[in-house]
Structure 1
């Protein structure tokens, strides 16, 4: 999955420089609130999606946040991202999530992702993202 993200985002430093060990990966995958999906063409990974089920406090319901979604350039415009999101929608229904949300950067190179999200979304909200140091 990290190899697809490293290539798809052209960000080897984040996704390939310090991969987690087997124990970390196993613990992450065992968490029922974590979703990891891989799309393959001819047994080769071409897309990946990482998401989190977020149980809410204000009502007995959950949301799902798509944290990362990438498709390799060679497989783009073939429905891979839509198929990954469709699979996530089925998972959302299984866990009783009321919505799936995703953030998209406003840089020009992310316009294809924004077009996809606009096609699938029932609402578009403009928001700012702030990273706060721990």
Structure 2
């Protein structure tokens, strides 16, 4: 298993990640019913504020994270907001989520972000 940060040209991997999210969150409608255009995904992947990480096993996406680098108004710093994190059911309990979070933490540190946070819902 390898962890990779997505960038320009990685639309297919981002689409695979949306399939993993749709299955994991039991929400195929939100994550796949009306897929965005290639142009939209390219624009998103080119943004410095958007962070997408995938865990690859045999070339297939088996997990991933989407996160956002948010500039803060109260001080000159940013925070990383971990928005979505999921691992395919068949690959859980193998340390993949831990590896993804560690990779996001390294990115945050490299960017000088103040904190990585996640909003948890039931």
TM-score (norm 1): 0.77
- In structure 1, the residue matched to 2:25 is 9
Q: Give TM-score, length-normalised by structure 2.
A: 0.84
Give the corresponding residue for 1:127: none
Correspondence for 2:70: 54
Which residue is 2:41 aligned to? 25
Q: Distance in 2 between matches of 1:40 and 1:10?
A: 21
Q: Deviations over 1:75-134 (max 9, x none)?
A: 11111111111000011011110100001223xxxxxxxxxxxxxxxxxxxxxxxxxxxx
Task: Report which of the two structures shows the higher radius of gyration computed on alpha carbons.
Answer: 1
Which residue of the other structure, out of 102, 109, 121, is the alignment partner of 1:86?
102
Pairing partner for 1:75 from 91, 94, 102? 91
Equivalent position SS for 2:35: coil
- 2: CA distance, partners of 1:64 / 1:41: 26
Segments of structure 1 that go 5 or more residues without pairing to the other structure are 107-134
Higher relative CO (Cα under 8 Å, sequence separation at least 6) belongs to 2
Q: CA RMSD in A?
A: 0.8
Structure 2 alignment gaps of length 5 or more: 1-16
CA distance in 2, matches of 1:49, 1:63: 16
Structure 1 segments, 4+ long, off by >2 Å, are: none
Higher strand residue share = 2
